[in-house]
């Protein structure tokens, strides 16, 4: 059973065998935590958004099937589709950014850099 998503959350979109769904959910959640560690923090307020991102990635992975090169030719025209998962990460770059942006809301930013420089040192005048 996952932290953010359970196999029943996939049912309206695809039929995924229970054992396969559990494994895919475990993998997706583990990778999401690596990309955005704050999502496991107590009181994290964007769990539904994490569920949406994970569901999209899992459904895409499920639709990719076993992952293979598929070729199709019609006359002089040909096309090759590569659905091998290992060539790409589980998440699209935009999904990683979305997960990290959820952390930005929780922490004030994944990375913060002050462009204003250091605070000025107050001067004390003795009279």
C-alpha count within 13 angstroms, C-beta hemisphere, residue 6: 2
Q: Report pLDDT digits (tens) over 70-88.
A: 678 888 888 876 655 554 5
Backbone torsions φ then ψ of 13, nearest 5 degrees: -110, -30
Cβ atoms of 97 and 111 within 8 Å: the answer is no
Mean pLDDT of 23-31: 94
Mean pLDDT of 23-46: 92
């Amino acid at each position: 059973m996952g932290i953010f998503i359970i196999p029943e959350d996939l049912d309206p979109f695809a039929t995924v065998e229970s054992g396969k769904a559990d494994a895919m959910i475990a993998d997706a959640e583990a990778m999401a935590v690596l990309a955005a560690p704050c999502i496991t923090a107590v009181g994290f307020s964007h769990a539904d958004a994490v569920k949406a991102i994970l569901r999209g990635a899992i459904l895409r992975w499920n639709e990719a099937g076993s992952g293979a090169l598929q070729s199709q030719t019609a006359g002089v025209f040909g096309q090759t589709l590569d659905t091998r998962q290992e060539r790409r990460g589980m998440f699209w770059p935009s999904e990683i950014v979305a997960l990290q942006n959820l952390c930005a809301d929780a922490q004030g930013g994944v990375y913060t850099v002050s462009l204003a420089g250091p605070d000025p040192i107050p001067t004390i005048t003795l009279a």
